[in-house]
Structure formats: C-alpha cells, structure tokens
C-alpha cells in the first residue's frame, strides 16, 4: 500500500500543480512591461549650404575659390540656335530662253540647233545681307521647262558651283528630253548639297544656272510667239551651316525680371546685409561672329519703389569663334559689383526683383569679318544675382504654419518619456534657433518643443574682424514628458519659427564670412522609456 | 480565449533544459545498458545480447531555464483576484546562459558476458546530440533595454551551438577485486559523420553613456564537417548522406568507473564517461573572425553636406563598413571537438533484500558552466523478473522531476523502459526536461535472489514438564 501511495501521491501533487498553474493563467488579465532604450540616431556634418536653404528659398548655393558660400538666384536662360536666328527663305524664279532669229534659221536649215544660256538668280535671306555659301541639310529643288516650240529638244541644266557633298563634280548637272509643246520637270533633294553663292569668290547671294538646249527640226514651222520658259523653286530649306556676312540686326532681346525670394517670400522679420553682391550677365556661344551685349537698363524693384543700378558697362564686346573651332564655346560674364556700381545699395534696399533690359547685336564693327553659324550653334545668356554670405544677419526670423499629424497611434501611448541628447559643435559664426508650436485644429497652441526656448546652436566665437577663433560646443538634453508627447500626438497644426543671427564680437555684430570650411556638427541620441500596462 | 493562447505559448516557451543522462537508469543493474553510465557496473546476468537495432533507444529534450510553474512567479496581484504578468520579471527566472538540448541515440548492437571476476561488453551506438546556448543578455536587451541603468554596460550575446552525429564502437571491461571493489573502463572508437560547432558566436554591444552610440564587437569561430559533403559554402556539391562506414573523421573515447561495496548494505560507485574527442578531416569548413577584437561604433545615421546618396545607398554603405570591420576568413582545415563529458557519484543503502535507496550526484560542463544534478531513488527488486526504480531529480532550479524505470524479464527476454520526468507528458508545466530510454535484451544466467530463511519455532530440546 505504501508503495502504491509512493507512486500516486506525486501524481496527485503534480496534477494539482498543473491545475493550479492553469488556474493562475486564467487569472492573468494584464501585461506589464517597461524597457528603456537608447540609440545614437543622427550624426550630421553640415555647412551653411544646407542650413540656410530655408532662408534662401529656390536659390542655388555655391562657393567661391576662397570657400565663401553664396546664394545664386537665376533668371530663365535665354537661348537661340543658329537655325532659329537665321531661317532659310524659299527661293523662286522664272525666266525664258527664246531662240534668236539666227538660231531659228539654223534649226530650219540644218535640222537642229543648240542654244546656250546663263542665268543668275538672287538667293535672298532675311537678316543675312551677304550669303556666301549654304550647306543644306534638307530642302527640295524643282524646276520646270515649258517648250512652246513645235520641235522637241534635249536640255542640259547646270547649277553652277552647287555640288553634292563628297562628289568630285563642281556643279550639279541634269539632262532631259522635252517634246514639242511639252513640259519637262526636274525634282531633286537638296540634302547634302553645298551651294557656293559667291560667283567664284567675287560676289554673294547668287544662284547661277547654265542651260544648253538642242532642238531638232520636226518639220513644223516656228511661230513668232513660240518660247521656252523656265520656272524654279527651292523650298523647305534647312542648313547645317551657312557662311557670309550676317549684318547687325539684334539677335536677342531680353526685357524681364529676376525674383529674389530672400527678400520676397522668405524674409519676414530681421535683416540681411550682403556686403558684396554681384549681378552677373553670363553668356555662352559658339557662333562665328562677334557680338555686342548692350545693357539698356538694370534696376532693383520692390513695391515701394525702384532703385536704378548705375555704374555698369553699357556695352560689352563678345568675340567670335574662329573657323574650325565650332565645337568650342566662349563663356564669359558681365559682373556688376561693388564698388564700381551701386549694386550694394540696391541690394541693401531688399528688392524683390531685379529688372533687366539688354540685347545682343552681331557684327558691332560692321562687315569687317565673314561670319558662319551651324544650325545647332547657340547663343545663351542668363541673369544671375549672387549674394555671398559676407555680411550680417540680424534677428532673422522665419515663421510658417503647416498641417501636422503625427499619427503615431498606439505607439505614442506606450512612450513614457523621450530624451533627445544633442551634441553640438558649431564652427559657423551664426546662432541658430528653432521653435515648434503644436496647435489644435483651431490654431490654439497645445505645447511647444522647447520649453523654455533655447537656441539649437550658439554661434562660434569671432574676433573683432569677424574671423572665427573658436567653435561652440555644447551637450544638452531636450526632454519630452508623456504629457507633451500626448499633446504632440493631438496636434493638428504645426507652427515653426526659425531664427538666425550672425555672431557678435564684444556685444556688437560685425560682418562675418560664411565658408564651406565651417561646419555645424549635430549628433542626436534618443533615449526613451517604453511602458506597457495593458489590461485585457 | 486570450488566456488559453497565452497559456499555450508560455507553456512551450517556458523552461530551458538540462542535458542529463537518464538518472533513473544508473542504479538499475538489472538492465545491462546501465553500464553505459558506469563501466564498473556489472549486470545481474552472466551474459546477454541486445535485440539488434532495438536494444537501447534514447531520446531527450532538456532546457536549463524555467518551467511553466516557475514562469508564474513573474505575475503580480492585480485588481481583485486577477494577476498581472510582469514581463520584466521573466528575466529573473533565467540563468546567465540558457540552453536547449536534444539527444537521440540508438544502439545497433550490444552484448556482454562475465567470466569469473571479469566482465566484457561491447556496443555499436549512433549518437546525435544538439545543444544551443542562448544568453540571458539577449532577453535583457530586448525586455529591459540598453538605456537607463544599463547605459555603459556591455551586453554579451554569446551564443553557442553544437551539433554532432557520430558512431561509437565501445569495448568495456571490468574486474572485481575480492568481494568489494570493481574497476571498469570502456574504450571507444568514434566515427564522426557530421558536426556543426561554434567555439564563438559572440556579439558584444555597449551603449555609450554620453551620446548613446553603440559599440559592437563580434567574434565568430564556426567549424563544420561531414562525411557527405560540405555543410556550408557548398553551392555546387551534392550533399548525400551515405557511405556511413567510410567516414574518415575518427576519434577516441573513454569511460572509467569504480564501485565499492562498503558492507552488505552500503555500496558506493563513481564514474566519468565520454572523455574523448573526434578529429574532423572530411569536408571541413572553418569560418573565423579575422579581427576578433575589432569594434564598430554606430554613432547615428551620417548626414553630410551635399550628400547625394539615397538612404538605401547609405544603408548599403553602412553594411559594407560593418562587414569590413568584421571580416571573416574561411578555411578548410581539420579541427577537433571534444565529447560532452559527464560524471556520476552514487551511494546506495539496502533497506531490505528487495528495497534499496540511493543518491546520485551528477554533473557536466557545458559552455564553461558546471551543471550539477542530484537524484534520490528507491529501487524495488520484486524478484528475478521485475525491477522498478522510482526517482526524483533536482537540477537547474527544478525540484520535482519524478523518474520511473522498470525492467521485466520473461525468461531470457527482457524489456525495459526508463523515463526521467515520467510525469512530463501529464504535467508539462512542472518540468524542464524529458528523457526516455527503452529497449529489449536477452539475458542469461540471472542471479537468483537468496531465499529468505523460514521463521520456524525453535525446537525444544527439553521436554515440557507435564502436570498431573
């Protein structure tokens, strides 16, 4: 019996343990868990290329050789190609080649006669006073002979000094038979035809044709009004290159404005002072003729008034691309800067726009040089305002409001607190601040990010000349308690303020220079406690 | 319903096991296989042989963590009668290193005989052992986190995994000196078929107190080998488990044991088994950290001025940096693994001719830790045919592990079954391990139990006086 009990008792004991365990599990109606986690989240190494983007709006940023950063506002580039500047006109002409009386006599007497004629037609192009030669890339050539004699003929047409590319023949030659009182036609493509319009280097704008007609007596008579008419047509012409003298009609006229967002959209409070602004007219071309950039007027505009720019060059000579260098470009610019102009004063007035009016004229010296352009030769010009970060920014403040929805859902409920540990190393002589206000749908402020407000990064230390002599280093915590997290979760709008102020020396702002070598290094670590206390 | 699911999940997730042998088998010399645990053990028959392929089948699952009942300690009172599960308290139930072990062994051939004071036996056994060690720090990192008081602390994710499949050819011998002392040993020739073994699979994570950057250090040393082709880095070769007998991975093993009969009632014994090694030569692949002490500091997502790369490109670059910091060398050199050695110390006291009580102290070393166990048993030898052994084992903070073993002889034919944690199938909530060994043998020349002297009335030599 004892042995039986020895076996059964443990079974009963463990059976009851199992039941007890199951019973306890059934009593579990909640889970509790808390954990604290930390991770280094962001390690940013920035310079003002990035940090000031919100102030500069759509401007590009760049840097000079000495690494000074600038904002660059650009107007839309104006560009023209050779084919846009010099479109080829259609060419048409009519003439006749009637037999002279001796030729008529020969035809009647000898049974045949040959008559030779030369014609010179004008090749006229709008805007090009003197056309030397054309390399056609496209075009159609058609010519009709109308034989009004009762005698058939054989015609040989030579277009003088017009040749096919890579052809040994110096002229284009066509032969055809034309019946009595009949019409004969010649149709050809001008693609890859090179036309020399100079009459062997002595003229221009000439389209020359030589005609040789041999009549055979048909036995019929010759009427007094019988004739031989010639009609030609060159249409849909496009060139790959043209040579000549292209005159001095303006090829490009610009009368527009350049928007400076920093004074228009971006800046609401505070002031910028740019000590060395530069207004640039930048041109690029690869055409075989000299130009003149003629600046008619420049001014700074804002609704309160316009400030004319003075002290800029009225004209600027632009040299041509030499023959054989068509693939190269000439790029240069007209720079209007301080102190040769009053541009510093103009910018100091914080214009929202720069108004400009200029045009480009070819051959300013007259027909002293022969010109050429390719169909795809271009002339481009753009207006750019460069604002080097060399000066002052005083209490610059940007304010904006945007819709906001954290949409963190359940996640925000389990976060007990979050601490952002900021590790700041600032080599830039600018103090940067940021504040975010979380608002409900009625724009009522629920909470703010920094309480009390503090700068994200104080400026680096500068000397009396504005040179950085020591970076600013600080480690601080931004602690968000559960209530604040909840307020952020409930927010529907976000208003943020961004603040910027250049450094002071001895309590006074002195002009500073912002360079690419100056860095703002921000390391942000996140430390958070997650706590779950869920009942079910 | 929720609770039922929770119950089920926790039930199977709780508890990590121990790799103990069948404690209950040790004192059962009615079963010849008890000599596997102590080569000085002499079976109670003169000679025997096992049913080929079915004389000793052994299966075990164990973990060293906590069982389900222990898991309930992680609850605390809620409202009224309800309980709240405190996930953080689960960590208190874990060891610093926790492991899961699986074993499967099958003896193809076995037999033995006594000759005077000599006893010889042999066996051919296939053994497949697997053990995975999971660090408590992993759960601590996930549950408690690396922040708060844990800032600056190094979390040691030191995993260890070992799996081996080998065949043991054992020849055992013991000799009885006089009536009291028996000394025994077993020499084993080992033929390794496959192994995956990590000497190191370590990842140390330290969170900087100041900026929360994470310093990562890794150390990997992984060895694999098999007779059938490379287990890893094997894109083209076929992996065909065949040609068992041709394995060139050879090793040696040794069991040593002794038993001493103090007097008619008290007997002491001790053994150490599975001392040995296997040299792995076939299709070896070794993957080793080139710079085991190198560190990678993750100090946040790097953002730089004028950086044009996408976040995906950054992540790819980060991955490349990490891989460059922790380069791995792959070689195909030979290596050696040692067997998982165990020792036993046992003392028994004969309560009666049929009833013996005993205590077994057990231990093994794994992953630089000593895992002890203690088993108390009562063995009842009902006669020549039946032996029962009831035990309770204490190990890995688990105190109720009832074991039951029995052997039944029907003539020469013997069947036996031994299970530690015999109640595990019925109360899995209370156990950390389960093991079962069973088989059938043919035993001959079993010892008869000495007949108990009859309790007769003494003979009266002097006649009883009579009265008139």
Kindly state whether A421 is in contact with chain B, defined as any CB-CB distance less than 8 angstroms: yes
Q: Any residues with CB less than 8 A from the CB of B186 and at least 6 apart, and which?
A: B35, B39, B121, B170, B171, B172, B173, B253, B254, B255, B273
Q: Any residues with CB less than 8 A from the CB of A257 and at least 6 apart, and which?
A: A75, A301, A353, A354, A355, A356
Q: How far apart are CA B272 and CA B39, in angstroms?
A: 9
Kindly state whether A23 is in contact with chain B, defined as any CB-CB distance less than 8 angstroms: no
**pLDDT the model gives residue A395:** 86
Cβ neighbours of B145 in A, within 8 Å: 35-38, 530
Cβ neighbours of A415 in B, within 8 Å: none
**pLDDT the model gives residue A22:** 66
CB spacing of B211 vs A46 below 8 angstroms: no
The last residue of one of the domains, among A212, A245, A278, is: A245
Residue A5 lies in a domain: no
CB spacing of A17 vs B10 below 8 angstroms: no
CB spacing of B145 vs A38 below 8 angstroms: yes
State the nearest Cα–Cα gap between B323 and chain A, in angstroms.
Answer: 20
Structure tokens belonging to residue A506: 């001895």
The last residue of one of the domains, among A225, A245, A265, is: A245
Structure tokens belonging to residue A339: 């102190």
Interface of B with A in 360-389 (CB under 8 A): 378, 380
**pLDDT the model gives residue A398:** 77
Residue A216 lies in a domain: yes
Nearest Cα residue to B46 out of B150, B136, B116: B116
Residue B315 lies in a domain: no
Average the pLDDT over A122-132 and give the result.
88
The total of other beta-carbon atoms located within 10 Å of residue B224's CB is 22
3-state secondary structure A31-45: EEEEEEEEEEEEEEE
Residue A209 lies in a domain: yes
CB spacing of B212 vs A44 below 8 angstroms: no
What would the pLDDT profile of A75-93 be if each residue is shown by its tens digit?
A: 889 999 999 999 999 999 9
Q: SS3 for A260? A: coil
Nearest Cα residue to B17 out of B343, B371, B376: B371
Which residues lie across from A118 on neighbouring strands? A210
Same domain, A332 and A439: no
Angle between helices B2-13 and A2-27 (to 10 degrees): 130
Q: How far apart are CA A347 and CA B324, in angstroms?
A: 53
Kindly state whether A11 is in contact with chain B, defined as any CB-CB distance less than 8 angstroms: yes
Q: How far apart are CA B200 and CA B198, in angstroms?
A: 5
CB spacing of B400 vs A41 below 8 angstroms: no
Nearest Cα residue to A15 out of B64, B402, B84, B12: B402
3-state secondary structure A445-470: EEEECCCCCCEEECCCEECCCCCEEE
Same domain, A297 and A340: yes
Interface of B with A in 233-292 (CB under 8 A): none
Q: Any residues with CB less than 8 A from the CB of A481 and at least 6 apart, and which?
A: A417
Average the pLDDT over A186-212 and give the result.
90
Q: How far apart are CA B265 and CA B349, in angstroms?
A: 5
Same domain, A441 and A354: no
Query: Which residue in the set A3, A40, A530 is minimally distant from B213, CB to CB?
Result: A40
Cβ neighbours of A30 in B, within 8 Å: 78, 82-85
Q: How far apart are CA A29 and CA B36, in angstroms?
A: 49
| pLDDT category of residue A53 using cuts at 50, 70 and 90 | low
What would the pLDDT profile of A224-242 be if each residue is shown by its tens digit?
A: 889 999 999 999 999 999 9
Residue in chain A lying closest to B304 (CA):
A45
Q: How far apart are CA A484 and CA A482, in angstroms?
A: 5
Q: How far apart are CA A288 and CA A323, in angstroms?
A: 7
Kindly state whether B462 is in contact with chain A, defined as any CB-CB distance less than 8 angstroms: no
Nearest Cα residue to B147 out of A32, A412, A39, A421: A39
State the nearest Cα–Cα gap between A329 and chain B, in angstroms.
Answer: 29
User: Which residue segment(s) compose the domain that B25 sits in?
Assistant: 2-290+327-444
Residue in chain A lying closest to B355 (CA):
A3
Residue B468 lies in a domain: no
**pLDDT the model gives residue B39:** 96
**Cβ atoms of A431 and A457 closer than 8 Å:** yes
DSSP element (H, E) containing A72: strand A69-74
Residues A240, A244, A249, A254, CA torsion sign: positive
State the nearest Cα–Cα gap between B401 and chain A, in angstroms.
Answer: 10
Interface of A with B in 491-530 (CB under 8 A): 516, 519, 523-530
Out of A200-209, A330-339, B188-197, B250-259, least confident range: A200-209
Kindly state whether B447 is in contact with chain A, defined as any CB-CB distance less than 8 angstroms: no
What would the pLDDT profile of A151-169 be if each residue is shown by its tens digit?
A: 999 999 999 999 988 888 8
Same domain, A234 and A254: no
CB spacing of A536 vs B2 below 8 angstroms: yes
Kindly state whether A37 is in contact with chain B, defined as any CB-CB distance less than 8 angstroms: yes
Q: Is the pLDDT of residue A450 over 90?
A: no
Task: Tell me the Ramachandran region of residue B34: left when phi exceeds 0, alpha when psi lies from -120 to 50, beta otherwise.
Answer: alpha
Q: Is the pLDDT of residue A24 over 80?
A: no
Residue B126 lies in a domain: yes
Q: Is the ipTM of this complex over 0.90?
A: no
Cβ neighbours of A52 in B, within 8 Å: none
Residues B307, B313, B318, B320, CA torsion sign: negative
Q: If you compute the radius of gyration of chain B from its CA atoms, what whole number of angstroms results?
A: 28
- Domain of B331, CATH number, reads 2.40.160.40
Residue B264 lies in a domain: yes
**Cβ atoms of A523 and B211 closer than 8 Å:** yes
Residue A11 lies in a domain: no
State the nearest Cα–Cα gap between B145 and chain A, in angstroms.
Answer: 5
CB spacing of B430 vs A18 below 8 angstroms: yes
Q: What is the number of structural domains in chain A?
A: 3
Q: For B110-128, give the DSSP string.
A: EEEEEETTEEEEEEEEEEE
Same domain, A235 and A92: yes
The total of other beta-carbon atoms located within 10 Å of residue A126's CB is 9
**Cβ atoms of A291 and A285 closer than 8 Å:** yes
Q: How far apart are CA A250 and CA A362, in angstroms?
A: 7
Residues B436, B439, B445, B446, CA torsion sign: positive
Same domain, A221 and A287: no
Same domain, A153 and A202: yes
Q: What angle do CA B58, B63, B64 make, to 5 degrees?
A: 130
**pLDDT the model gives residue B75:** 79
**pLDDT the model gives residue B15:** 32
E strand spans, B64-180:
75-77, 83-86, 97-115, 118-135, 154-177
Query: Which residue in the set A25, A29, A516 is minimally distant from B78, CB to CB?
Result: A29
**pLDDT the model gives residue A286:** 94
Q: Any residues with CB less than 8 A from the CB of A360 and at least 6 apart, and which?
A: A250, A251, A252, A253, A283, A291, A292, A293, A294, A318, A379, A381
Same domain, A397 and A354: no
Same domain, A173 and A259: no
Cβ neighbours of B75 in A, within 8 Å: 24, 28
Same domain, A401 and A382: no
Query: Which residue in the set B75, B151, B300 is minimally distant from A43, CB to CB?
Result: B300
Cβ neighbours of A421 in B, within 8 Å: 210-212
Residue in chain B lying closest to A3 (CA):
B380
**pLDDT the model gives residue A166:** 84
State the nearest Cα–Cα gap between A53 and chain B, in angstroms.
Answer: 12
3-state secondary structure A280-326: EEEEEECCECCEEEEEEEEEEEECCEEEECCCCCCEEEECCCCCCCC
Residue B450 lies in a domain: no
Q: Any residues with CB less than 8 A from the CB of A223 and at least 6 apart, and which?
A: A149, A150
In a 10 Å sphere around its CB, with 0-12 CB exposed, 13-18 middle and 19+ buried, how is residue A302 labelled?
middle
**pLDDT the model gives residue A217:** 94
Q: What angle do CA B34, B36, B38 make, to 5 degrees?
A: 80
Residue in chain A lying closest to B402 (CA):
A10
Q: How far is CA B71 from CA A24, B85, B144, in A?
A: 11, 10, 17
CB spacing of B303 vs A30 below 8 angstroms: no
Which residues lie across from A521 on neighbouring strands? A45, A425
State the nearest Cα–Cα gap between A489 and chain B, in angstroms.
Answer: 24
Residue A40 lies in a domain: yes
CB spacing of B144 vs A36 below 8 angstroms: yes
Nearest Cα residue to A411 out of A470, A354, A488: A488
Residue B455 lies in a domain: no
**pLDDT the model gives residue B68:** 66
- Domain of A140, CATH number, reads 2.60.120
**Cβ atoms of B417 and B436 closer than 8 Å:** yes
Tens place of pLDDT per residue across chain B (468 aa): 444 444 333 333 333 333 455 688 999 999 999 999 999 999 989 999 999 989 999 998 887 766 666 677 777 787 777 888 888 888 888 888 887 889 999 999 999 999 989 999 999 999 999 988 889 999 999 999 999 999 999 999 999 888 999 999 999 999 999 889 999 999 999 999 999 999 889 999 999 999 999 999 999 999 999 887 666 665 555 555 555 566 789 999 999 999 999 998 999 999 999 999 999 998 899 999 998 878 999 999 888 776 777 888 888 988 898 888 889 999 999 999 988 888 999 999 999 988 999 999 998 876 566 778 899 999 998 888 899 999 998 876 667 788 999 999 998 999 999 998 877 777 666 667 788 999 999 999 876 655 545 444 444 444 444 443
Q: How far apart are CA B294 and CA B291, in angstroms?
A: 5
Same domain, A94 and A210: yes
Higher pLDDT: A196 or B304? It is: A196
User: Which residue segment(s) compose the domain that A96 sits in?
Assistant: 87-245
CB spacing of B88 vs A10 below 8 angstroms: no
Nearest Cα residue to A211 out of A93, A89, A91: A93
The last residue of one of the domains, among A203, A224, A245, is: A245
Nearest Cα residue to A208 out of A47, A91, A293: A91
Kindly state whether B34 is in contact with chain A, defined as any CB-CB distance less than 8 angstroms: no
Cβ neighbours of B83 in A, within 8 Å: 24, 27-30
Residue B295 lies in a domain: no
Q: For A102-137, give the DSSP string.
A: HHHHHHHHHSEEEEEEEEEEE--BTTBSEEEEEEEE
State the nearest Cα–Cα gap between B452 and chain A, in angstroms.
Answer: 21
Query: B312 φ, ψ to 5°?
Result: -65, -40
Cβ neighbours of B208 in A, within 8 Å: 40
Same domain, A485 and A519: yes
Q: What is the number of structural domains in chain B?
A: 1
- Which of A1, A11, A26, A27 would you mutate first to test chain B, the one with the most B CBs within 10 A? A27
What would the pLDDT profile of A457-512 be if each residue is shown by its tens digit?
A: 999 999 999 999 999 999 999 998 988 888 888 889 988 888 889 999 988 999 99
| pLDDT category of residue A404 using cuts at 50, 70 and 90 | confident
Residue A7 lies in a domain: no
Taking the complete model, does pTM exceed 0.90, yes or no? no
Residue A400 lies in a domain: yes
């Amino acid at each position: 019996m004892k042995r039986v009990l020895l076996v059964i008792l443990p079974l009963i004991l463990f059976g009851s343990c199992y039941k007890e365990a199951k019973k306890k599990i059934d009593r579990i109606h909640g889970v509790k868990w808390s954990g604290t986690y930390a991770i280094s989240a962001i390690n940013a190494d920035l310079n003002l290329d990035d940090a000031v983007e919100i102030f500069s709006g759509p401007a590009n940023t760049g840097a000079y050789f000495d690494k000074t950063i600038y904002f660059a506002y650009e107007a839309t580039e104006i560009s023209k190609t050779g084919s846009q500047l010099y479109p080829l006109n259609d060419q048409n002409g009519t003439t006749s080649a009637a037999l002279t009386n001796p030729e008529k006599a020969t035809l009647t007497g000898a049974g045949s006669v040959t008559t030779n004629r030369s014609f010179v037609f004008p090749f006229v192009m709008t805007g090009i006073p003197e056309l030397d030669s054309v390399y056609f890339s496209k075009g159609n050539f058609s010519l009709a002979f109308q034989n009004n004699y009762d005698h058939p003929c054989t015609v040989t047409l030579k277009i003088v000094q017009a040749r096919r590319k890579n052809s040994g023949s110096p002229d284009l030659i066509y032969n055809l038979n034309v019946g009595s009182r009949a019409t004969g036609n010649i149709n050809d493509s001008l693609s890859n035809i090179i036309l020399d319009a100079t009459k062997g280097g002595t003229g221009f704008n000439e389209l020359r044709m030589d005609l040789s007609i041999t009549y055979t007596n048909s036995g019929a008579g010759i009427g007094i009004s019988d004739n031989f008419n010639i009609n030609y047509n060159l249409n849909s012409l496009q060139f790959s290159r043209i040579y000549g003298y292209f005159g001095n009609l303006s090829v490009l006229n610009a009368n527009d404005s350049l928007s400076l967002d920093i004074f228009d959209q971006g800046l609401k409070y505070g002031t910028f002072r740019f000590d060395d602004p530069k207004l640039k007219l930048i041109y690029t071309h690869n055409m075989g003729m000299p130009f003149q950039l003629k600046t008619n007027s420049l001014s700074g505009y804002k609704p309160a008034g316009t400030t004319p720019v003075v002290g800029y060059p009225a004209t600027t000579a632009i040299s041509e691309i030499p023959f054989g260098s068509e693939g190269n470009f000439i790029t240069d610019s007209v720079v209007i800067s301080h102190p040769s102009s009053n541009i510093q004063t103009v910018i100091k007035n914080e214009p929202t726009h720069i108004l400009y009016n200029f045009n480009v004229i070819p051959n300013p010296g007259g027909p002293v040089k022969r010109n050429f352009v390719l169909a795809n030769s271009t002339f481009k010009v753009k207006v750019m305002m460069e604002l080097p970060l060399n000066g002052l920014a005083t209490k610059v403040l940007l304010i904006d409001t945007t819709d906001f929805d954290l949409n963190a859902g359940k996640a925000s409920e389990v976060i007990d607190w979050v601490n952002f540990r900021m590790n700041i190393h600032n080599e830039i002589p600018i103090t940067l601040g940021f504040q975010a206000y979380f608002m409900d749908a009625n724009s009522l402020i629920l909470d703010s990010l920094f309480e009390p407000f503090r700068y994200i990064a104080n400026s680096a230390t500068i000397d009396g000349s504005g040179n950085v002599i020591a970076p600013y280093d600080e480690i601080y915590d931004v602690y968000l308690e559960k209530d604040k997290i909840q307020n952020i979760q409930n927010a529907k709008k976000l208003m943020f303020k961004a603040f910027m102020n250049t450094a002071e020396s001895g309590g006074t702002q002195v002009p500073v220079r912002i360079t690419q070598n100056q860095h703002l290094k921000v390391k942000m670590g996140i430390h958070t406690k997650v706590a779950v206390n869920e009942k079910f | 319903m929720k609770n039922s699911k929770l119950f089920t999940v926790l039930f199977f997730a709780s508890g990590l096991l121990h790799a103990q042998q069948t404690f209950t088998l040790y004192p059962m010399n009615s079963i010849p296989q008890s000599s596997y645990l102590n080569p000085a053990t002499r079976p109670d028959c003169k000679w025997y042989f096992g049913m080929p392929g079915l004389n000793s089948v052994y299966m075990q699952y164990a973990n060293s963590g906590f069982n389900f009942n222990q898991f309930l300690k992680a609850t605390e009172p809620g409202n009224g009668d309800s309980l709240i599960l405190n996930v953080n308290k689960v960590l208190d139930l874990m060891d610093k290193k926790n492991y899961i072990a699986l074993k499967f062994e099958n003896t193809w051939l076995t037999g033995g005989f006594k000759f005077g004071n000599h006893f010889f036996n042999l066996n051919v056994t296939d053994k497949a052992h697997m053990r995975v060690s999971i660090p408590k720090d992993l759960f601590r990192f996930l549950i408690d986190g690396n922040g708060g008081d844990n800032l600056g602390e190094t979390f040691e994710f030191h995993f260890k995994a070992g799996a081996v499949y080998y065949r043991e050819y054992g020849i055992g011998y013991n000799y009885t000196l006089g009536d009291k002392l028996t000394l025994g040993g077993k020499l084993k020739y080992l033929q390794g078929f496959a192994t995956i073994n990590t000497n190191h699979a370590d990842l140390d994570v330290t969170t900087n107190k100041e900026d929360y950057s994470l310093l990562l250090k890794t150390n990997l040393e992984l060895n694999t080998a098999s007779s059938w082709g490379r287990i890893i880095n094997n894109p083209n070769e076929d992996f065909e488990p065949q040609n068992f007998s041709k394995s060139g991975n050879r090793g040696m093993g040794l069991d040593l044991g002794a038993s001493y009969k103090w007097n008619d009632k008290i007997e002491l014994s001790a053994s150490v088994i599975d001392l040995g090694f296997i040299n792995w030569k076939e299709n070896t692949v070794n993957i080793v950290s080139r710079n085991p002490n190198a560190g990678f500091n993750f100090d946040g997502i790097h953002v730089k001025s004028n950086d044009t790369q996408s976040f995906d490109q950054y992540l790819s670059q980060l991955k490349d940096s990490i891989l460059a910091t922790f380069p791995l060398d792959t070689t195909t050199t030979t290596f050696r693994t040692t067997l998982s050695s165990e020792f036993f110390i046992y003392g028994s006291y004969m309560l009666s001719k049929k009833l013996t009580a005993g205590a077994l102290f057990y231990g093994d070393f794994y992953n630089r830790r000593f895992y002890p166990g203690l088993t108390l048993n009562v063995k009842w030898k009902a006669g020549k045919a039946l032996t029962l052994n009831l035990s309770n084992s204490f190990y890995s903070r688990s105190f109720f592990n009832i074991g039951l073993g029995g052997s039944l002889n029907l003539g020469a034919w013997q069947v036996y079954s031994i299970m530690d944690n015999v109640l595990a199938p019925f109360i899995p909530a209370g156990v950390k391990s389960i093991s079962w060994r069973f088989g059938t043998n043919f035993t001959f020349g079993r010892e008869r139990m000495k007949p108990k002297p009859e309790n007769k009335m003494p003979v009266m030599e002097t006649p009883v006086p009579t009265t008139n």
